[in-house]
Amino acid sequence: MASVPQTYTISDFIEWQQKKQLVLAPDFQRGSVWTVAAKVFLIDTILNDLPMPQVYFRTKLNAETQTTVREVVDGQQRLRAILEFASDRLKLSSKSPNFRGKTYKTLSLEDKERFLSYRIPVVQLVNANDAEVLEVFARLNSYSVKVTPAELRHAEFSEPVKWAVYDASRAWAELWSDLKVVSTRDTVRLKHTSLIAEMFMTLDQGIGDGGEPQITKFYKGKRSEEDEYFAVARANLDLTIKEILDRTKEDFSETTFYDAPNFLILFAAVAFLEGRAPASKASEDVDEFRGRGVDWVGAVEGLSNIAQAFDGEAEENGPFAAFVAATKSTTHRVSSRKPRFSTLVRLMAKDAAVS
């Protein structure tokens, strides 16, 4: 068995399909399972000339008949989406912002040429038998880095909840690329989507327990929600993040408040005070402040005092010792979040002194 890496254009795949030289669903493959949103996202990737993963073929060469048949071993869903779009049976949606509403026929000539000439990386397993194909994939998997929970969710879910989180993560790229709220290394592994997902959770449920199992539970619980629900949540998320960046980025981007655990708590406190997040069991100590609004003059002073407590040794019984200690503990547990959240709400609330 020869393993031959090459690249082929989309026009090659279309030609093979027309000549019945491409088998999309051999016996060991499942049928089409991708949602429309997933298909559109792939086409958008191609039209923007971004890379996609390799496709694996079992290439059957017949020396007697001088024919070639290519069975798709891995990449069937991607190729189905590509061929569906090429045959004008897929209309692009908001998952492709620059090409929304377009079909292949309504693309400009330049965009059609870009689509057809896009090169897909391919590994051909020439005349491999089933056992050899399984051996190849066993070896590939043995070298793989264990996927993160965020990567698993992105693969498993196709409902609006997944796209709402992903789209918000892309829209707020400043948080990852410039401000490093989540590190570049972790962003590559989609861990920034976990932070955005927890923001959606906070807007839906109020502050509470977090962490990957809770995020996955949230995804499952929101599977039936439609785009309209997430449009409202997204608007509140955008307002809250913008308010935080406008008021704190200049002075606090190098402090604990621009590390993911405390950025989330700052987000939760602002959303709560602005009436965008509901009360929860964990907010019971400060429920009186919900919807009161943020006093940003007092907030900046309070955030500065907390940041200074992190710069040196926090006094054991100092006013922010509990905040510092909770930050150093397991930050996704409500036992850690509640004291940090309550501290920020009291420091940042309008007319806090009269309560």
pLDDT in tens, 133-150: 767 766 765 666 677 899
CA distance 191 to 149: 8
- Kindly tell me if the per-residue pLDDT of 127 is higher than 50: yes
**Residue in the structure block whose two tokens are 């292949």:** 104
- Kindly tell me if the per-residue pLDDT of 29 is higher than 60: no
Point out the least confidently predicted range of 46-60, 166-180, 257-271, 341-355. Answer: 341-355
User: Structure pTM?
Assistant: 0.76
Q: Comparing 189 with 113, which gets the higher pLDDT? A: 113
Q: Is 46 within 8 Å of 97 (Cβ atoms)?
A: no
| pLDDT at position 345 | 97
| pLDDT at position 17 | 93
- Kindly tell me if the per-residue pLDDT of 315 is higher than 60: no
| pLDDT at position 59 | 87
| pLDDT at position 58 | 87
| Dihedral angle, C-alpha 180, 182, 188, 193, nearest 10 ° | -130
Reported as a pLDDT band with limits 50, 70 and 90, residue 303 is very high
Count of other CB atoms within 10 angstroms of residue 30: 8
Question: What are φ and ψ of residue 268, in 5° steps?
Answer: -65, -40
> The tokens of 86 are what?
């090429």
> Which alpha helices (DSSP H) does the chain contain, by range?
10-18, 36-47, 76-86, 109-117, 130-142, 149-156, 160-171, 174-177, 184-188, 191-205, 212-221, 227-252, 260-273, 296-311, 321-327, 334-348
- Kindly tell me if the per-residue pLDDT of 28 is higher than 70: no
Is the sign of the CA dihedral 304, 306, 311, 316 positive or negative? positive
| pLDDT at position 332 | 87
| pLDDT at position 141 | 59
Alpha-carbon distance values, 286 to 42, 291, 352 (Å): 45, 11, 10
Reported as a pLDDT band with limits 50, 70 and 90, residue 355 is very low
Query: Per residue in 230-244, pLDDT tens?
Result: 999 999 999 999 999
| pLDDT at position 72 | 86
CB crowding 293-331: b at 16 or more within 10 Å, else e? ebbbebbbebbeebbebbeeebeeeeebeebbebbeeeb
- Kindly tell me if the per-residue pLDDT of 164 is higher than 50: yes
What's the order of all strands across the beta sheet hosting 119-126?
2-9, 119-126, 55-62, 67-74, 22-23
Query: Per residue in 54-78, pLDDT tens?
Result: 998 888 888 888 888 888 888 888 9
Please, what is the average pLDDT of the chain?
A: 89
CA distance 213 to 240: 25
Mean pLDDT for the stretch of residues 196-225:
95
| pLDDT at position 210 | 94
CA distance 326 to 335: 8
Mean pLDDT for the stretch of residues 257-285:
96
- What percentage of residues in the chain have a pLDDT greater than 90? 65
The DSSP call for residue 332 is T
| pLDDT at position 105 | 96
